[in-house]
Structure formats: C-alpha cells, structure tokens
Amino acid sequence: MTITDSATESASDVVAGKGARWVVVGSSTQAEAELAVREALAPIVKRADPKLTIIFCSPAHNLAEISRLVRATVGSGEVIGCSTAGELLRNHPTTGGLLIWALGGDGFAVTTGVGLGDPATGLRDAAQTAAQCLRQLERKEHTLLFLLADGLCGDQMEVVRGAYDVSGAGVPLVGGCAGDDMALQGTQQIHSGELLTHAVVAAAITSNAPMAIGIAHGWEPLSEAMLVTGSRGTTLESLDDRPALDVYLDTYEAPDEVRNDPAAFFDFAHTRPVGIARRNRTEIRYVYGADYELRTLMIFAEVPQGAMAYLMQGNATSVLNATTDVCALAEQALGGQPARGFMLLECVARKTLLSNAGLLDESLKLPSVASEAAVGGFYTYGEIARTEGSGGLHNQTVVALALA
C-alpha cells in the first residue's frame, strides 16, 4: 500500500511556483526495500532535487539498504534518518513501515553533521560535533537545528546540552530520539547513506520564511510536588528521601503484579510519567523500568537532583487533545503565514495510550491543519524541542515543527 500525500504535492506548485519552498512526505508499508523506497520516494522525485531528505524507517527493514537506495535516488541533497517505533502520517500511523519527509526549493538551505558517542560517555560530545554543521550554514532569516539521536545511549538530555553548546539561544532545537519498535535493544541513525549507532545526526535548516515549534503533552500532576533527593544519570533514586520506586508504586496504587513483574511494570509505567517543574511548564520524563532491589526508577533522561517533581496522570482525551492542538500551536507561531508542511515527533507511549482507547487514527486527523500541508513524522523514544530556556528534552510529549 502506498500512502502519498498527493494533495500536498499539487498544492506546492500552485501556491509557491517552481523553485519555491516545498515540503513533501511519502511512505510505504511494502516489506521489500526497493519497492518501499520507490513508493515512498515517488512524490519526492517529482520535485527538483530535495535539499533535505529524512528517512524514518522501522527496524523491520534493512536500514542500510533503505538508506543506500534513497541516497542513490535523491541526488545531491542531504540525507539523514533513523529507526523508529512507528511512523506518523495524517490519519495513518504505521508500524513496520517507511516514511520519507523531504524539503526543497530555493527558500531553504541545509547542512548536516554527525557525531558519535558511546553508552559510557553519553552523547553530549556527539551532539556538539553534529551541531557544528550550523557553522557551515549560510543563514537566511530563520534557522533551526534538527536533531535525530540514539534513544538508548545514556541520558537523552545530554543531546540537547551538546547541541545547545553550539547553537546558543538564538537557534531553536527540534528533533527526536530514534526508536526500535519497543524492543529497547538498539536504535540506528543514518547520515549520508551511512548507518550508525550511538550517534547524533543533525540538520541545520535555514529558510527565508518562518519555522515554528509546538509542544504539548496533556499530562497533569497527580501527586504533590516532591523534591528529587536522589538522582544519578538516568536513575531516579529517591523522592522526598523515600525510595523512588516505593513512592511511585504507592502513589499510583499499583497492583501486585506491577510490584513484582518487570514486564507488568513496563506496561504500567508506559502511561504514568514523571514531571519536572519548570518556570512556566512541566517537562515530562518517561519511566521505562524499575530496579526492584535498589528501589529505583529507570528514566530515558535525567530527572535533575534538587528539582521539583510530580507523578503525572493523563487520559486518552487529554493526550488526544495535545496531538490535535500541537500543529495549531506551531502554525500560530508562523506569524500568519500558511504552513507548507509539518514534522510530528510523538512519544511512542502516547501511541499506546491512544491505541488502547481506540483513538489513534482520530488523533491524527488534525482538523486545524490545512489539507494541502504535508504531515509526517515518527514515534520516538524522546522528543527535542527547545525554544526558550536551555533545556528542551521531553518525554511522552508531542512536538510539531511547522514550516512556512
């Protein structure tokens, strides 16, 4: 089956004319790599050479082969990508598929970079290296740094810190952490046709039109604010001087099997994140495991010691609203210009919650988004969106990047 955003394709020509900015998304659920690439690239190859092609691909595919085929087809533009925990199209989330998101036209310019880290030292230096591509970019009026990082290599917050070391406050950061269809074994990143692990790939995108970021999650505090009294890396040790796991289980009144069975805990925690209090928002952290012996929680990204934290709750409706609202939030920030395309970066845990409630397709109807705008993205293990402050790593959140 081919899912091609043909409406977007035609609209671009009409609205912008040849040589103007365009965003196109294509996808495929074909199992065979060559067929999948041909289908997913079909709307893209009709355009002039894309400036940036981003591959979001299920680990069920041979990513090396996919990446080689895409690289060979799209010409001289930049190619990056990563493995996913599912792919996002308007109305059509997929698992095991391939989605290709591309932009082009004279109004855009792109440079890319890559940095390699390792689980022992994390990804800060890798992100710093990848972000150096900003220095090679001849900037137009609006610039941002798009990041794809290994989602299972150390503290995800380090990716934001490393990129911010280079970008500074003037350049927004947006992106996501690669997934592996919830196997939690290892993720892959793509840069210039090369397949990598423990890597950060970056694309510095500059445009003569606005680009804006929307962030939403729909979670609300369930608990009172608690002081993070013990935290080391991605292990949350204690809250208000009590073992973090005990606080967590008691607050959520977890059933017995969750208190003893790691698999049951994993499913349970999927929809019960931790929130970190920030000045005017709450950042969400994804709890993906527990150490029953040490009574600690395992989190995808650091919960800073000394911070105020909450245990969060949500329901299908609040999470659904966040997804449908986020594109509108992003588009509002475009200053009245219409969005040509959206990149959606949504936490895989939200997918589970919405799917369990039978609202997954509903969540992607995106009524606020014009029908001619291209929409595509992937289900992530962590979302990156820094527009203010110097933090910007989120979990169980949906982030939308809108491009005018």
Partner 1 sequence: MSSAPWSLHVLSEVLAAFTVRSPTALRDVMSRVAEAVDAEITAIMDGAQSDFQHCVGLEDHQKFLLAAAVEERLPVLSLAGVPLHLYWAPLDGGAVMVVGRFREAYSLEERALLRAMGRSIQLSTQMLAALKAEQEAKDLAIREATIDALTGLPNRRYLLAHLGAGLDPSSGGRLQIGLLFIDFDRFKHINDVYGHSVGDAYLQAVGVALGQFHDADTFVARLAGDEFIVVVASANIGILTDLADRILQCLKQPVKIRGRLLHYSASIGVALAEPGDRPQDLLDKADMAMYSVKQLLPGGYACFEPNMLDQARRKAVLESEIRSALLQDEVIAFFQPIISSLHGGVVGFEALARWLHPRRGLLTPKDFIEVAEDAGLLRDLDARILRDACCSFSGWQSVQKGFNPRLSINISAATLQDPTLIERVKESLVSSGLKARNLLLEVTESSLVKNVERAQHNILSLKKMGVKLAVDDFGTGYSSLRYLRQFPVSMLKIDRSFVSGLGQSYDDKVIVETILRMAASLGIQVVAEGVETEEQRAILSRMGCEFLQGYLLGHPLDSPMSDQFLARSERRRNWLRQPIV
Binding site residues, partner 1, CB under 8 A: 161, 164-165, 167-170, 221, 224-225, 227-228, 277-280, 304-308, 388-391
* Nearest CB to partner 1, comparing residues 67 and 282: 282
* Nearest CB to partner 1, comparing residues 224 and 246: 224
Q: How far is the CB of 168 from partner 1 (least distance, A)?
A: 4
* Nearest CB to partner 1, comparing residues 118 and 165: 165
Q: How far is the CB of 42 from partner 1 (least distance, A)?
A: 40
206 forms beta bridges with 109, 143
d(CA 134, CA 111): 7
Q: How far is the CB of 319 from partner 1 (least distance, A)?
A: 20
Q: How far is the CB of 109 from partner 1 (least distance, A)?
A: 18
Q: How far is CA 190 from the centre of its chain?
A: 15
The three-state secondary structure class of 262 is helix
d(CA 166, CA 208): 22
* Nearest CB to partner 1, comparing residues 98 and 384: 384
* Nearest CB to partner 1, comparing residues 57 and 312: 312
* Nearest CB to partner 1, comparing residues 225 and 294: 225
The set of residues, in sequence order, having a beta carbon less than 8 Å from that of 195 and lying 6+ positions away, is: 63, 64, 67, 188, 189
d(CA 107, CA 49): 13
Q: How far is the CB of 8 from partner 1 (least distance, A)?
A: 32
Give the C-alpha distances (Å, rounded to integers) separating 266 from 94, 237, 293. Answer: 22, 17, 16
DSSP 68-106: HHHHHHSTTSEEEEEE-S-EEETT--BSS-EEEEEEEST
Q: How far is the CB of 389 from partner 1 (least distance, A)?
A: 4
CA atoms lying within 13 Å on the CB side of residue 143: 21
